[in-house]
Structure 1
Amino acid sequence: MIAVSSPHSLVNSRLLEILACPKDKGNLFYVADEEMLYNPRLQMRYEVRQGIPVMLIDEATIVNQVEHERIMAKVAQLNLKPTF
Protein backbone atom coordinates (compact mmCIF):
# COMPACT_ATOMS: atom_id res chain seq x y z
CA MET A 1 0.00 0.00 0.00
CA ILE A 2 1.23 3.48 -0.84
CA ALA A 3 1.45 5.83 2.13
CA VAL A 4 -0.11 9.26 1.81
CA SER A 5 0.33 12.27 4.02
CA SER A 6 -3.25 13.55 4.01
CA PRO A 7 -6.58 13.01 2.26
CA HIS A 8 -6.69 16.37 0.41
CA SER A 9 -6.79 14.91 -3.05
CA LEU A 10 -6.33 11.19 -2.81
CA VAL A 11 -5.23 9.31 -5.87
CA ASN A 12 -6.55 5.78 -6.26
CA SER A 13 -4.06 3.42 -4.59
CA ARG A 14 -4.31 0.90 -7.46
CA LEU A 15 -3.31 3.64 -9.90
CA LEU A 16 -0.33 4.58 -7.72
CA GLU A 17 0.89 0.99 -7.85
CA ILE A 18 1.48 1.29 -11.62
CA LEU A 19 2.06 5.01 -12.17
CA ALA A 20 5.46 5.97 -13.62
CA CYS A 21 7.10 9.19 -14.71
CA PRO A 22 6.35 9.72 -18.41
CA LYS A 23 9.84 11.11 -19.02
CA ASP A 24 12.14 8.47 -17.49
CA LYS A 25 9.60 5.71 -16.79
CA GLY A 26 10.77 5.55 -13.16
CA ASN A 27 8.79 5.53 -9.94
CA LEU A 28 7.38 8.58 -8.17
CA PHE A 29 6.53 9.69 -4.65
CA TYR A 30 2.96 10.79 -3.94
CA VAL A 31 2.83 13.70 -1.50
CA ALA A 32 -0.90 14.05 -0.96
CA ASP A 33 -0.94 17.19 1.19
CA GLU A 34 0.95 19.03 -1.56
CA GLU A 35 -1.16 17.42 -4.28
CA MET A 36 1.81 16.23 -6.29
CA LEU A 37 3.77 13.28 -7.57
CA TYR A 38 7.53 13.75 -7.41
CA ASN A 39 10.37 12.30 -9.46
CA PRO A 40 13.57 12.80 -7.42
CA ARG A 41 15.86 11.64 -10.24
CA LEU A 42 14.79 14.47 -12.54
CA GLN A 43 13.63 16.82 -9.76
CA MET A 44 10.23 17.06 -11.47
CA ARG A 45 6.89 17.50 -9.77
CA TYR A 46 3.57 16.62 -11.37
CA GLU A 47 0.37 18.19 -10.07
CA VAL A 48 -2.60 16.19 -8.85
CA ARG A 49 -5.86 18.00 -9.59
CA GLN A 50 -9.01 16.75 -7.88
CA GLY A 51 -7.42 13.35 -7.41
CA ILE A 52 -6.25 13.08 -11.02
CA PRO A 53 -2.49 13.06 -11.72
CA VAL A 54 -1.51 15.44 -14.52
CA MET A 55 1.27 13.38 -16.09
CA LEU A 56 2.13 15.76 -18.93
CA ILE A 57 5.85 16.49 -19.22
CA ASP A 58 5.12 20.01 -20.50
CA GLU A 59 3.08 20.77 -17.37
CA ALA A 60 5.59 19.35 -14.89
CA THR A 61 7.67 21.70 -12.78
CA ILE A 62 11.41 21.27 -12.37
CA VAL A 63 12.34 22.20 -8.81
CA ASN A 64 15.59 23.73 -7.61
CA GLN A 65 17.99 21.96 -5.25
CA VAL A 66 16.58 23.58 -2.10
CA GLU A 67 13.04 22.51 -2.99
CA HIS A 68 14.26 19.03 -3.92
CA GLU A 69 15.89 18.64 -0.51
CA ARG A 70 12.73 19.89 1.24
CA ILE A 71 10.54 17.41 -0.64
CA MET A 72 12.92 14.51 -0.02
CA ALA A 73 13.10 15.37 3.69
CA LYS A 74 9.31 15.25 3.79
CA VAL A 75 9.28 11.93 1.92
CA ALA A 76 11.70 10.54 4.51
CA GLN A 77 9.86 12.03 7.49
CA LEU A 78 6.52 10.62 6.35
CA ASN A 79 8.13 7.35 5.25
CA LEU A 80 6.44 7.61 1.86
CA LYS A 81 6.95 4.67 -0.47
CA PRO A 82 7.55 5.07 -4.20
CA THR A 83 5.02 4.00 -6.79
CA PHE A 84 5.41 0.47 -8.17
Structure 2
Amino acid sequence: MIKLNVMVTLPDATRLPCGEIVATPPDSQGLVKGAFRYSKAYLDHSLAFPLDPVTLPMISKEFIAQSPAGVHAVFEDALPDDWEKNC
Protein backbone atom coordinates (compact mmCIF):
# COMPACT_ATOMS: atom_id res chain seq x y z
CA MET A 1 0.00 0.00 0.00
CA ILE A 2 1.28 3.44 -0.94
CA LYS A 3 0.32 6.43 1.23
CA LEU A 4 0.86 10.04 0.20
CA ASN A 5 0.11 13.10 2.32
CA VAL A 6 -1.42 16.00 0.42
CA MET A 7 -0.46 19.49 1.62
CA VAL A 8 -2.14 22.76 0.62
CA THR A 9 -1.06 26.36 1.09
CA LEU A 10 -4.19 28.42 1.73
CA PRO A 11 -4.72 32.03 0.59
CA ASP A 12 -3.62 33.30 4.02
CA ALA A 13 -0.26 31.41 3.57
CA THR A 14 -1.24 28.70 6.08
CA ARG A 15 0.27 25.36 5.06
CA LEU A 16 -2.11 22.60 6.07
CA PRO A 17 -2.36 18.83 5.60
CA CYS A 18 -5.25 18.54 3.20
CA GLY A 19 -5.68 14.79 3.12
CA GLU A 20 -4.19 11.45 2.19
CA ILE A 21 -4.03 9.39 -0.98
CA VAL A 22 -3.76 5.63 -0.60
CA ALA A 23 -3.08 3.30 -3.51
CA THR A 24 -2.22 -0.30 -4.20
CA PRO A 25 0.77 -1.33 -6.29
CA PRO A 26 -0.20 -2.01 -9.93
CA ASP A 27 -1.94 -5.34 -10.50
CA SER A 28 -1.04 -7.78 -13.30
CA GLN A 29 -2.90 -5.54 -15.79
CA GLY A 30 -1.07 -2.41 -14.60
CA LEU A 31 -4.13 -0.94 -12.86
CA VAL A 32 -3.86 0.81 -9.51
CA LYS A 33 -6.71 1.05 -6.99
CA GLY A 34 -6.64 4.28 -5.04
CA ALA A 35 -8.64 6.64 -2.85
CA PHE A 36 -8.45 10.10 -1.28
CA ARG A 37 -9.80 11.40 2.03
CA TYR A 38 -9.71 15.00 3.31
CA SER A 39 -8.17 15.55 6.74
CA LYS A 40 -10.43 16.79 9.53
CA ALA A 41 -8.17 19.82 10.05
CA TYR A 42 -8.63 20.79 6.41
CA LEU A 43 -12.39 20.28 6.42
CA ASP A 44 -12.66 22.42 9.57
CA HIS A 45 -10.54 25.32 8.24
CA SER A 46 -12.53 28.40 7.20
CA LEU A 47 -10.43 28.98 4.05
CA ALA A 48 -10.48 25.38 2.83
CA PHE A 49 -11.82 24.71 -0.65
CA PRO A 50 -12.65 21.55 -2.62
CA LEU A 51 -9.66 20.36 -4.64
CA ASP A 52 -12.10 19.32 -7.37
CA PRO A 53 -15.66 20.56 -6.78
CA VAL A 54 -17.17 17.84 -8.99
CA THR A 55 -15.36 14.69 -7.84
CA LEU A 56 -13.97 15.74 -4.42
CA PRO A 57 -16.59 17.82 -2.59
CA MET A 58 -15.75 19.01 0.93
CA ILE A 59 -17.17 16.10 2.92
CA SER A 60 -15.66 13.48 5.20
CA LYS A 61 -15.63 10.29 3.17
CA GLU A 62 -13.27 8.16 1.13
CA PHE A 63 -13.35 9.04 -2.57
CA ILE A 64 -12.42 6.08 -4.77
CA ALA A 65 -10.36 7.02 -7.84
CA GLN A 66 -11.96 6.00 -11.11
CA SER A 67 -8.82 6.11 -13.26
CA PRO A 68 -6.21 3.55 -14.33
CA ALA A 69 -3.56 5.57 -12.46
CA GLY A 70 -5.40 5.09 -9.16
CA VAL A 71 -5.53 8.82 -8.37
CA HIS A 72 -8.03 11.56 -9.08
CA ALA A 73 -7.28 13.78 -12.06
CA VAL A 74 -6.48 16.77 -9.84
CA PHE A 75 -3.42 14.89 -8.53
CA GLU A 76 -2.13 13.31 -11.76
CA ASP A 77 0.17 16.19 -12.83
CA ALA A 78 1.64 16.51 -9.34
CA LEU A 79 2.91 12.92 -9.24
CA PRO A 80 5.99 11.51 -10.95
CA ASP A 81 5.44 9.69 -14.22
CA ASP A 82 7.44 8.09 -17.00
CA TRP A 83 7.15 11.00 -19.45
CA GLU A 84 10.93 11.36 -19.70
CA LYS A 85 11.23 7.77 -20.91
CA ASN A 86 9.19 8.70 -23.98
CA CYS A 87 11.47 11.54 -25.08
Structure 2 length normalisation: TM-score? Answer: 0.38
Point out the structure with the larger helix share: 1
Structure 1 length normalisation: TM-score? Answer: 0.39
Whose RCO is larger (CA < 8 A, sep 6+)?
1
Point out the structure with the larger strand share: 2
